[in-house]
Amino acid sequence: MNLKVAYRPYRREFLHPLRTAHREWKEREGFIVRVASDEAVGYGEIAPLPEFGTETLERAADFLKKWVDDPIIMPSGLPCCCFALTTAIQHSRATACPAARDYAVAGLLPAGSAALAAAKKKLAAGYSALKWKIGVFPSEAEKEVAADLLALLPEKVSLRLDANGGLKRKELEDWLEVLSPHASQIEFLEQPLPPGQEGTMAELGRVSKIPIALDESLNALGRERWLTPGVWEGPLVIKPLLMGNVTSLLQQLRPLARQLVFSSVFETGIGLSQALELADALPAMKYAIGFDTVAAFDDALTGPVSAPVFLARARAHFYPEVIWKQLPPLN
């Protein structure tokens, strides 16, 4: 197949810096790739997160310089590049995609006490699940906020707490003691301990009756174990753009579909569209997706408007070339 390939970098500033247990995040950088064949044009997004075990932006850039001269080569050890290229090539072959579906979206709250005002707005907008980062501020202050958040929630709205692997065992035990009386309101606690401590998380989760979800563990060494059916009982938070070849990824995820929680890496509308196309091929998925991120930026690179539900009909009016044309071409 005769392919014409190109790539362009992007840089986006967050409207408000994002604080997690890993760092304070002020901007998002990545690349958009374009693959054109005689049949169609496909796009892909490279959005590295080295703290999740991916390649760096610099390694991705080095690969892309070689790729434009030799489009046959495929990246090795570069999962973000691999995801972007395989999705772009798939579209350039005019491969039919599963029918688009509507998706409930979990509302993203800022860390700390600012979550309370944000939660009131999300609830008024109709979100059925909320996600809040912990392990960012002193734990006693966060626990007070957690109590206020839980008091706000209507009966059918659940709360997810995400520690980004930033807790120690004693801190996790303390959090589970606080949360256990509210187990009916807690959807899950996401990656409370660092990768390598999955056994401890599983043990404490079973005792407390609070579901523990894996996230960083799925992008670390040994991730294949936790993506083996029957090994992990709780939710599995999947960041598709970080996980390599989209075709083999789909085959790996199908047996796990009911445990999957698709999650954003603050990608552009192109990456979001690709993640949702992968979700379309996994109809057994049941959790609200973690893509309440488009409002984090104020630029022309976003996808659907942030809302409690991503509607299939809105996705039908998304055109990747509009984003491509916003990006500065390389010299």
- By annotation, the residues acting in catalysis are 133, 239
H or E element that contains 282:
none
Q: Return the DSSP state at 99.
A: P
Q: How many CB atoms lie within 10 A of CB 93?
A: 14
Amino acid occupying residue 81? C
User: Taking Cα atoms as reference points, which of 114, 117, 107, 112 lies closest to residue 152?
Assistant: 117
Written as one string, the DSSP assignment of 139-196 is HHHHHHHHHHHHHH--TT-EEEEE-TT---HHHHHHHHHHHGGGTTTEEEEE--S-TT
- Give phi and psi for 97, each to the nearest 5: -105, 155
Task: List the structure tokens of 113.
Answer: 């006490």
* Cα–Cα separations (whole angstroms), residue 123 to 60, 126, 211: 39, 5, 23
